[in-house]
Structures are given as structure tokens and as C-alpha cells.
Amino acid sequence: MTTLAQGGSDSTTERGTARSGRVQVSKTHRRSLPAQIGFWALMALLVVIFIAPLLWMLVTSFKTNEDATRIPLSWLPRPWDVSAYRTLFGAGSANPVLRWFFNSLVAAAANSALIVAVDAAAAYALARMDFPGKRVIFGGVVATIFLPIFVFLIPNYLIVSKLGWLDSLWAIIVPSAGGAFGVFFLRQFFSTLPRELEEAAIIDGANQWRIFTRIVLPLSKPALSTLAVLSFLTNWNDFLWPVFVLFSPDKLTLPAGLAKLQNAASVNYPIIMAGAVVASVPVILLFIIAQRQVIEGISRSGLKG
């Protein structure tokens, strides 16, 4: 009888535990549903906030200037007009937009490749090699990140002038090749790689250059891709430095050239928005293609947004 009583008590306890567990799961589910709705509502709001300016830029490029400045403003053009793009790309256009686009593309691609090559070598030395003053050098590199860019304008201009690179794409490509951010970013990534791989390569007779090119760089593709994309975007969007060192209309990059589309007397908004659309397309496509590498590279480098 005692055994039967204990068995009944145990089964009652199990049923009570199961019932309380179901109640707890049900309460958790009820609590999580409003939280999920709120989360996705917030995400939708953020999407609208980020996408709305891009859509406005796109539709305004298809408006006439009168329609773009009409009050109240309207989203859809009345009528749809492509005269802004004809002005930019027409055969008789005074603004060589395609030339500016090509200059920006060449300068940004060459600059990002140069930054990756220089910063990867410097970061590997600071992450894996031992030499006197390494900590001091790394501290100095990191310290330059906090200096405003205006501090480097005059020194870089004087150097570029002495080298005879004024009014050429070399002035856009070379000066920022040794960026402090790239060295810091790659150094953080290289520090996460297991040393056992390098030690095994040393046992097999590999030197530092072979280890760097055959082991470290292939394992660092996410970080290298991230740095290349960020460098490309920085150079592509740069406005201040090209204005300082480029003078001829056919040597300008896209951001500096687009500034010529407006004058002090009037502003043609559809033409400016059409130029902005042209400048935005490569950036958006590049991020769509490389977003996985960028996310992986940032997450593995130890940097937090």
C-alpha cells in the first residue's frame, strides 16, 4: 500500500510539474509575441528611414525642376521626365560625368588595393614579429586615428606638389595608402589566428614571407575584403581632398565634379539627384556583393559597432 501511495504521489507530482511547465512556456510565448511584434515593427521603421531618402533621390531625378520645387511636394513625378539624365550624359554636355565616373572608379580601386597591400604587411609585422619599439610604433599608429583629417591636408599637399602629382589621379591614389585604421583593423584580425599553423610552417622550413603569403593572407580573406570595401567607399565618397589637388575638369572625380552641377544663382535639383543616383549605384552594388565578407570580417576582428 505504501508503494502504491508513493507511486500515485510521484505521478501526481509529474503531472503537476508538466502542467506548470506548459503554463510557463505558454506565459513565455505570450510575453515573447508582443516583443517580436515590437522588434519587427522597429526594424520596419528603420528600413523606411534608411530607404526613403534613396527613393526620394531616385524619383526626384525623374522630375522637372518646377515639379521638384513645387509646394506641396509630391512623391511621384508629374510628368516623368529624363531630361536630367540627358543633361548629364548628352553628347553636348559641358559636364563629363562619365569621365568623372571613370576617374573615381580607377582611383578608388587602385587606392583600396594599395591600402590592403601596405596595411596587411604592416599589420602582420605588428601582430606576429618581435622587434624593439613595436608597442611604441603601434601606439603611434593608433594615435593618428584620433587626429582630424584637416591636420594632414597641408603636409600631404606639399608632398604631392613636390612629387609633381598635382592635377593627376596619383594625388588621389597614393597619399592615403598607409592608413592607420587599416593597420589597426588587420592587426586585430591577425592576432586571432592560431599560432600553431605558423609554427608548423616554420618546422616545414617556411620563412616569414612564405607564412605571410601562403597561410596568413588566405585565412584573412574576410578582413582583407572588408578593408578593401571600406577603403573603396572612403575614396569614392571623398570630396575635400580632390577639390584641393585636382583642377582640370576632365581630371575631377565624381563627388568633386557633381559639385559643379549647381551654381550660386540657382539649383537644379533633378540634375543633382541624377548625379547622386549615378554615384550611389556602384556603392550599393558593391555592398550587396560583399556584405557577407564585411560582416564576417568585422565580427572576427574584435571591433564593435
The DSSP annotation for 121-186 comes to: HHHHHHHH---TTHHHHHHHHHHHHTS-GGGGHHHHHHHHHHHT-TTSTHHHHSTTTT-HHHHHHH
- Residue 303 in this model has a pLDDT that exceeds 80: no
Q: For the segment 262-277, what is each residue's pLDDT rounded down to a tens digit?
A: 764 567 888 888 888 8
pLDDT of residue 299: 64
CATH match for 92-301 among 2.40.128.120, 3.10.28.10, 2.10.70.10, 1.10.3720.10: 1.10.3720.10
What pTM was computed for the model?
A: 0.77
- Residue 2 in this model has a pLDDT that exceeds 50: no
Least confident of 2-11, 61-70, 203-212: 2-11
- Domain segments of the chain: what residues? 2-60, 92-301
Q: Distances in Å between the alpha carbon of 218 and those of 52, 66, 203, 212?
A: 39, 55, 20, 9
- Residue 300 in this model has a pLDDT that exceeds 70: no
Residue keyed to cell 584580425: 189
Q: For the segment 178-192, what is each residue's pLDDT rounded down to a tens digit?
A: 888 999 999 988 988
